[in-house]
Structure 1
């Protein structure tokens, strides 16, 4: 039987998706209601056991058909990018190549992740015949309940769900507090909490174990992060174990309406996203102070503790500490202590290799901090 551990990384794509890929493999990226790895799980019995697949590729009927017909010792490519291959061991040297006729869905850049999340919200959410009367007694209004999935364990008090323009998923043990408004397509995943008056706008996924408030639009929150207070986050990707202070806000559209440029870890230069909307790309274990302001297309690395009364720079290297412009390198031991504290607070298991990962990040971004 094929194993999802054969969803493997590609070095260049991992760099292009930094800082998200410091702490996780490509297959562990979240899209829609689950990780890429989870999306491949239903097909384990069908795919040949010796098949290696690019970890950022999403399954589709067309791609699955191509995988089932792929001969041994042969690779599938889309243009110059390998998508899958059959071999006895992992390899980057492919001599026998077949080219796909249909473009596969795969993540190369952060903006691809947002686009894929938008599509997945429509594809992943399966309504479960919600009875509105069950929630009316608690002051909740559901518009187009036939387009909603609400887990029986979820708590909805004085909330409004508007699924008239897209489906809404409310996961197990979610707590939507009074005044929460959600416009679909959107998903609030297991164990997450919304604060009073939270506004979740379309095309948003709030991952498991998050606590959110204020206004969030067209964004993807990885598990166990907090944005508990007022402030706007739009067209953004927020990593795990982040904590955004009150009134932390980002711009997601340029005043001149031109395409947004973001820092690319692969080229160490700004790259055109070909999109007019992009807010923040934030790694894991980032904390911001109150009133922190991010400009359009800001990239923040891992293990940062930052604030500023002015707009922060468009690129904040990993392990940065302090209030801009007076910042300094975050001590590695303090960064590890802070990360462990947030992991414990979210009742998760601290990775044994956490200090070594921080050491790796420290070395890789040493020049960027100078």
Structure 2
């Protein structure tokens, strides 16, 4: 079965994260959405924005199943997809979310090729707004934990650690000493070559991607996800870091999502609850305005390659774009455009050349290269976001 994950309406609503990736490359739970398919043995490609398609190409075969990329698959959903024949589709609450088509049919309007539909009535996670990433992280973390550990035996942990409950899975190469892991509130997954330093307190659920690290004395409340190569310290609650991002020092991060290659300065804090306990509003690129979230707890959303200096304070429901650099005293505005430089005292443009230089240096520290493809993507984002600066 050839799965083509198609960016739909959610793409605009999930910016700034989808400025630099298709919807299916958002991490929620342990895996990205596309990895949830590939880990089930399926071939996956992407139907996304033209400037992203070099990095995320589409593969068309004789028969293809086009699926809304915002849906997190389950075994039951994958089985339903596998039973589709050309011309058939799946609806959820009456909306078409998947369809089987042949190579000669139009993928951009695959709906026209679907003549027969089946309603899928089993609950699924669907990511349509920024806050859904942390809001549904617990559900997806549980689902991914079951997927990744099914039929496998966990590696062991040092006897210096305290484990409460038994829902913990440890991959090879994990180093952890003198830490407390409480799995009674959710599963804990420690990926390959993870490091958990002395004095760390974890209250599940928690997922740590390969080579990620918890620094000494960190306090983690689940459900929280650290993607690969993340370094985290201080206090973190119900947050998702996609990968290659650091919050290495003291300070609070709650009900928040960080993209890749972000860095949070020492003693930085974000508010996740308004003083009057009112509903949080959040900037929405698709609407061009702030949108009601229906949530009391909602924190920081930071796009790829953005950074903040020490002692930065982020207000409740702050959206930071791609390659922004924030610093200084006071609370910066709660919508910070991509390629912005400054803080509460005012913002100027972060020149593209300087931003690319910084990105190259940061990636080199993890033995990654800012190649021509990545440079072209960031350049395109710079052009697309000029209207907001």
- Same fold, judged at TM 0.5 (above): yes
Q: Does the Cα contact within 8 Å between 1:77 and 1:97 map onto a contact in 2?
A: no
- Once residues 62 and 75 of structure 2 are traced to their aligned partners in structure 1, the CA distance between those partners, rounded to angstroms, is 16
Question: Which residue of the other structure, out of 226, 243, 257, is the alignment partner of 1:206?
Answer: 226
1:284 and 2:284 correspond: no
Q: Deviations over 1:73-92 (max 9, x none)?
A: 24433357431112234122
Offset, 1:331: 0.3
- Once residues 155 and 31 of structure 2 are traced to their aligned partners in structure 1, the CA distance between those partners, rounded to angstroms, is 25
Q: Secondary structure at the match of 1:67?
A: helix
1:33 and 2:56 correspond: no
- Once residues 326 and 377 of structure 2 are traced to their aligned partners in structure 1, the CA distance between those partners, rounded to angstroms, is 20
1:235 and 2:227 correspond: no
Q: Secondary structure at the match of 2:131?
A: helix
Residues 101, 153 of structure 1: CA spacing in aligned structure 2 closer, same or farther, 3 A cutoff? Answer: closer
Residues 104, 187 of structure 1: CA spacing in aligned structure 2 closer, same or farther, 3 A cutoff? Answer: closer
Offset, 1:129: 6.2
Instruction: Map 1:1-370 onto structure 2 (within 5 A).
Output: 2-4=1-3, 6-10=4-8, 12-41=9-38, 42-44=40-42, 49-79=63-93, 81-88=95-102, 89-92=106-109, 94-95=111-112, 96=115, 98=117, 100-102=119-121, 104-126=124-146, 135-136=158-159, 139-144=160-165, 146-369=166-389
Moved more, 78-87 or 322-331: 78-87
Structure 1 vs Structure 2 CA RMSD: 2.2
Residues 36, 351 of structure 1: CA spacing in aligned structure 2 closer, same or farther, 3 A cutoff? Answer: farther
- In structure 1, list runs of 5 or more residues that go unmatched: none
Q: Secondary structure at the match of 1:216?
A: strand
- Once residues 7 and 376 of structure 2 are traced to their aligned partners in structure 1, the CA distance between those partners, rounded to angstroms, is 20
Instruction: Show structure 1 runs of 4+ deviating over 4 A.
Output: 126-132
Q: Deviations over 1:55-106 (max 9, x none)?
A: 2211124433432343422443335743111223412252336252425432
- Once residues 100 and 160 of structure 1 are traced to their aligned partners in structure 2, the CA distance between those partners, rounded to angstroms, is 45
Q: Does the Cα contact within 8 Å between 2:282 and 2:317 map onto a contact in 1?
A: yes
- Once residues 68 and 151 of structure 1 are traced to their aligned partners in structure 2, the CA distance between those partners, rounded to angstroms, is 31
- Once residues 265 and 65 of structure 1 are traced to their aligned partners in structure 2, the CA distance between those partners, rounded to angstroms, is 35
Q: Does the Cα contact within 8 Å between 2:224 and 2:238 map onto a contact in 1?
A: yes
Q: Does the Cα contact within 8 Å between 1:17 and 1:108 map onto a contact in 2?
A: yes
Offset, 1:268: 0.8
Q: Does the Cα contact within 8 Å between 2:305 and 2:324 map onto a contact in 1?
A: yes
Offset, 1:220: 0.3
Offset, 1:163: 1.1
- Normalised to the residue count of structure 2, the TM-score between the two structures is 0.87
Paired positions, count: 361
- Once residues 287 and 77 of structure 1 are traced to their aligned partners in structure 2, the CA distance between those partners, rounded to angstroms, is 41
- Once residues 236 and 355 of structure 2 are traced to their aligned partners in structure 1, the CA distance between those partners, rounded to angstroms, is 27
- Normalised to the residue count of structure 1, the TM-score between the two structures is 0.91
Q: Does the Cα contact within 8 Å between 1:74 and 1:94 map onto a contact in 2?
A: no
Offset, 1:38: 1.2
Offset, 1:131: 8.3
Residues 66, 311 of structure 1: CA spacing in aligned structure 2 closer, same or farther, 3 A cutoff? Answer: same
Offset, 1:355: 3.0
Offset, 1:293: 0.5
- In structure 2, list runs of 5 or more residues that go unmatched: 44-60
Q: Secondary structure at the match of 2:325?
A: strand
Offset, 1:229: 0.4
Offset, 1:239: 0.5
Residues 124, 65 of structure 1: CA spacing in aligned structure 2 closer, same or farther, 3 A cutoff? Answer: closer
